[in-house]
Amino acid sequence: MDILIYGTVNSVVFALVAVGFTLVYGVSRLPNFAHGALYVLVGFLTWSLVNDFKVFYPLAILISLGISALLGALIYRLILIRLRGLPTSEIIASFAVGLIILEGLRLQGIGGFKGFIGPFYVLPAFIDSKLRIAGVLIDAQRLILIGGGLCVVAALWLFTHYTKTGLSLRAIAQDEQAAMMLGIDSDRAAVISLSIGSALAGLAAVIIFPLGNVTAEAGYRVLINALAVCIIGGLGSWAGAVLASFVLGFAMIISTALFGSVWESVVLVGAIILILIFRPSGLLGKQKELEERV
């Protein structure tokens, strides 16, 4: 029962983290390697708004999500727009943006900035209480996390299927040239997808960070997790991403229960390698993706 509940929690963590990355890559074929950095940045911004500027907690969350969305749009407008269609440069540039944010947060002693090191950065939980479900003790934040994750996935599904903007994003994802002929601006779609993706990374951060400390290292882990989910699930496939999150989430919890937490990351890489050998297009990927990745 432990495994079932905490596995679900872990899986939703994976899904939350991956969903923004999948969205951006699915729509505009841009690998946003700054995803993990934006995740940490939102955690840090929220923390400093709450603690240094004494902003009301929900308001602080909204502000930092806004900043993250803006930053996503800026990354596209200033940098990635000049590099579209050059996959190597896209990877390197967005990775460099991510590193600037992550390592910049660790700077010390410049302009009175204290640096972002140490275990002092903890975001408060939304509701601080513990419940008992089927004999397993679980805190309310983890339940909120499950609910939040499901809401995010559902909201995104509704957004991409029933709103005009969402439909235009899907159109760009399916066939960019045809969509452009119908008057959909590809750059605008990319800006929208990057800002939504960045905001989603931030949303994941504010939901997940109360469970632990806000650290810069989390950024690398999040990026890797997001990519692992995408590789295993098959890019562009929503169902695949969700399925892969559950596979990975449970695989990790089970391996931790059996062998200890050492093997967590080994499981991750092992799963990726197995998938690559046996199903190169991912769990639910289609033939088209197979062609472009192998």
Contact residues: another protein, CB under 8 A: 25, 31, 78-79, 82-83, 86-89, 91-93, 95-97, 99-100, 103-104, 106-108, 110, 220, 223-224, 227, 231, 262, 265-266, 268-269, 272-273, 276-277, 280, 292-294
Task: Find the shortest distance in angstroms from Cβ 120 to another protein.
Answer: 18
- Closest to another protein by CB, 150 vs 272, is 272
- Paired tokens of 159: 């957004």
Nearer to another protein, 60 or 105 (CB): 105
- The least distance separating another protein from the CB of residue 107, rounded to whole angstroms, comes to 5
- Amino acid identity at 274: L
User: At closest approach, how far in Å is the CB of 127 from another protein?
Assistant: 33
Spatial distance between the Cα atoms of 32 and 48, rounded to a whole number of angstroms: 25
Number of DSSP helices (H) and strands (E) in the chain, helices first: 12, 2
| Residue among 22, 59, 64 nearest 39 (CA) | 64
Length of the chain: 294
Task: Compute, in degrees rounded to 10, the torsion defined by CA atoms 81, 85, 87, 88.
Answer: -80
Cβ 263 to another protein, closest distance in Å? 8
Closest to another protein by CB, 114 or 161: 114
Token look-up 């709103």 returns 163
Q: For tokens 């009175």, what's the residue?
A: 112
Of 103 and 185, the one with the shorter C-beta distance to another protein is 103
Cβ closer to another protein: 8 or 94? 94
